[in-house]
Amino acid sequence: MAEKLLAIHGLHAAVEGKEILKGLNIDINKGEVHVIMGPNGSGKSTLVNLIMGHPKYEITAGSIAFEGEDITALKTFERARKGIFLSFQNPEEIPGITVENLLRTAKNAITGETIKIMAFKKELKQAMETLKIDNTYAARHVNVGFSGGEKKRNEILQMMMLNPQLAMLDETDSGLDIDAVRIVSSGVKHFKNDQNAILIITHNTKILEQLDVDYVHILMNGKIIQTGDASLISQINENGFLHLGGDALDSGEVNALHG
Partner 1 sequence: MDKKKTVVEDIDRGLYDIKNKDRYRYKASKGLTPQIVMDISKEKNDPEWMREFRLRSLDIYNKIPLPTWGPSLHELDMDDIVTYVRPDTEMKEKWQEVPDDIKDTFERLGIPQAERESLAGVGAQYDSEVVYHSVKEELVKQGVVYTDMESALREYEPMIKEYFMKLVTPNDHKFVALHGAVWSGGSFVYVPPGVQVEIPLQSYFRLNSPGAGQFEHTLIIVDKGAKLHFIEGCSAPKYNVTNLHAGCVELYIKEDASLRYSTIENWSRNMLNLNTKRALVEKNGSIEWVSGSFGSKISMLYPRSILKGEGARAEFNGVTFAAGGQVLDTGAAVIHAAPYTSSNINSRSISKGGGVAVYRGAVKVAANAHHCKSLVSCESLMLDDLSRSDTLPVIDIQNDEVDIGHEAKIGRISEEAIFYLMSRGISEQEAKAMIVRGFAEPIAKELPLEYAVEMNNLINIELEGTIG
For binding to partner 1 (CB under 8 A), which residues are involved? 52-56, 75-77, 79-81, 85-86, 88, 91-97, 102, 105-106, 109-110, 141, 158, 162
Q: Count of CB atoms within 10 A of residue 255's CB?
A: 10
Q: Which is nearer to partner 1, 163 or 227 (CB)?
A: 163
Closest approach, Cβ 250 to partner 1, in A, equals 29
Q: Can you say whether residue 224 is alpha, beta or left, with left for phi > 0 and alpha for psi between -120 and 50 degrees? A: beta
Q: Which is nearer to partner 1, 87 or 221 (CB)?
A: 87
Q: Which is nearer to partner 1, 80 or 213 (CB)?
A: 80
Question: Which residues face 236 on adjacent strands?
Answer: none
Strands 69-70 and 57-66: antiparallel
Closest approach, Cβ 170 to partner 1, in A, equals 11
Closest approach, Cβ 130 to partner 1, in A, equals 19
Residues 67-77 as b/e (b if ≥16 CB within 10 A, e otherwise) read eeeebeebeee
- 252 burial (CB, 10 Å; 0-12 / 13-18 / 19+) is exposed
Q: Can you say whether residue 117 is alpha, beta or left, with left for phi > 0 and alpha for psi between -120 and 50 degrees? A: alpha
Packing angle of the helix pair 178-191, 148-162 (nearest 10 deg):
10
Closest approach, Cβ 247 to partner 1, in A, equals 30
Q: Which is nearer to partner 1, 52 or 65 (CB)?
A: 52
Distance from C-alpha of 239 to C-alpha of 65, rounded to nearest angstrom: 34
Q: Which is nearer to partner 1, 39 or 53 (CB)?
A: 53
Closest approach, Cβ 80 to partner 1, in A, equals 4
Q: Which is nearer to partner 1, 52 or 225 (CB)?
A: 52
- C-beta of residue 158 within 8 angstroms of C-beta of residue 104: no
Closest approach, Cβ 115 to partner 1, in A, equals 13
